[in-house]
Amino acid sequence: MLKWLKRKNADKSSQPKGSVVQERNFDTKAAIRVLDMIKMEFGLDYERQKAITLRKIERFALKRDIHSFEELAISLQSSGSLKTELINMLTVGETYFYREFEQIELIGDEIISGKCESVLSAPCSTGEEVYSILLYIKSRDRLPPSLRITGIDINTDALTSAKKGCFSQRSVSQLPPDITKEWFASSGERYCIDSSLKKHTDFLYANIFDRDFQRLGKFDAVLSRNMMIYFTDEEKKRALRQLSSVMHPGSILLLGHADISFVPDGFEKIRRRRAVYFKKI
C-alpha cells in the first residue's frame, strides 16, 4: 500500500504545474453510438468482434488525444477526415494474387471468350484481385482493348496502394515465377506491376450503401468476396440489391464462400460452382 501511495504521489509531482489531466472515459454504453454510426453508414457490424474492435477504436482515439467514446462520436460527425482514418484502420486486410484462383480463372475465361468487357471488384482492397484477372488473361491471350476493371473500396489507404501497384513478396508468392518475372519490376522487397496493365483499371472510392452507387454504371461481372462476412442478414440483402443494380441481366456475381447462405433475389446459382450466381434475364 505504501509503495502504491509513493508511486501515485510521484506521478502527481511529475505533472507540469497548471496542467489539466484529461480523464479517460471509454464506457461501453457510449461505444454503441460509435458502432451504430459505422454500421449505419458503411454496413459494418462488429457485434461478434465487439471487444477487440472497441479496444482498437480506443487506441485510435487516444492517439488523437480523444479520451472518450462520446467525444469520438462528436468528432466523427464533424470531421470527415477523422472518419476516413477510422474506417481505414478498421478495414485493413491482407490479400494476395490468385486468391480463390477458380474464380479468377472463371472471370478471365469469360473475358477471353468475349462475354465480358467490364468487371467490378467490390471491395478491391489493395488491388491484387483486379490485377490477378489481368495477369491471368495475359498468360492465356491478349487483353481486349475495351476491357475495364473497376475496383472500389471505402479504405482510402488501400486505394492509394492499388493505384501504385507495388506489392510485398508475400502478396506475389502464389503467382507462377514466370508471370512474376515478366510483369513485375522488383525494387528491394517490393514488386511493382507493369504500367501497361494499369491502363485497363480504375480504382475509386465508393460506399456500396451510398444513394449514388448506381453512378458507377453497369458491369458484366461483379466480384464481391469476403465483404459481407461483417454484415447482418438484412444488410447482406441490401448490399446484394445494390450490386444487382449495377449488373447487366445475365451477368455473373462471384462472392466469398462464407459471405451468404442463401441465393440472392433475382439470381440463380451456377451449378458446380461455389458462391457463383448469374443475374436472371
Residue 189: the pLDDT is: 87
Residue 24: the pLDDT is: 76
**DSSP output for the chain:** -HHHHHHHHHHHHTSPTT--PPPPB--HHHHHHHHHHHHHHH----STTHHHHHHHHHHHHHHTT--BHHHHHHHHHH-HHHHHHHHHHHT-----TTTTHHHHHHHHHHHHTTS-SEEEESS-TTSHHHHHHHHHHHHHSPPPTT-EEEEEES-HHHHHHHHHTEEETTTTTTS-HHHHHHHEEEETTEEEE-HHHHTTEEEEE--TTSGGGGGG--EEEEEE-SSGGGS-HHHHHHHHHHHHHTEEEEEEEEE-TTT-SSPPTTEEEPTT-TTEEEE--
Average pLDDT over residues 261-276: 92
Q: How confident is the model at residue 23 (pLDDT cuts 50, 70, 90)?
A: low
- Residue 213: how many other CB atoms lie within 10 Å: 17
The pTM for the full model equals 0.84
pLDDT more than 90, % of the chain: 69
Average pLDDT over residues 87-105: 90
**Measured between alpha carbons, how far is 21 from 78 in angstroms, rounded to an integer?**
25
Q: How confident is the model at residue 5 (pLDDT cuts 50, 70, 90)?
A: very low
Strand 219-224 relative to strand 118-121: parallel, antiparallel, unpaired? Answer: parallel
Domain ranges of the chain: 25-90, 101-279
Residue 100: the pLDDT is: 92
Residue 27: the pLDDT is: 79
| pLDDT averaged over every residue in the chain | 89
Residue 4: the pLDDT is: 40
Q: Residue 163 corresponds to which cell in the numbers above?
A: 493505384
Q: How confident is the model at residue 271 (pLDDT cuts 50, 70, 90)?
A: confident
pLDDT tens-place string over residues 204-239: 999 999 999 999 999 999 999 989 988 989 999 999
**Measured between alpha carbons, how far is 250 from 267 in angstroms, rounded to an integer?**
9
Residue type, 109: D
pLDDT tens-place string over residues 45-60: 888 888 889 999 999 9
Higher pLDDT, 117 or 43: 117
Average pLDDT over residues 165-181: 95
Q: Does domain 101-279 have CATH number 3.40.50.150?
A: yes
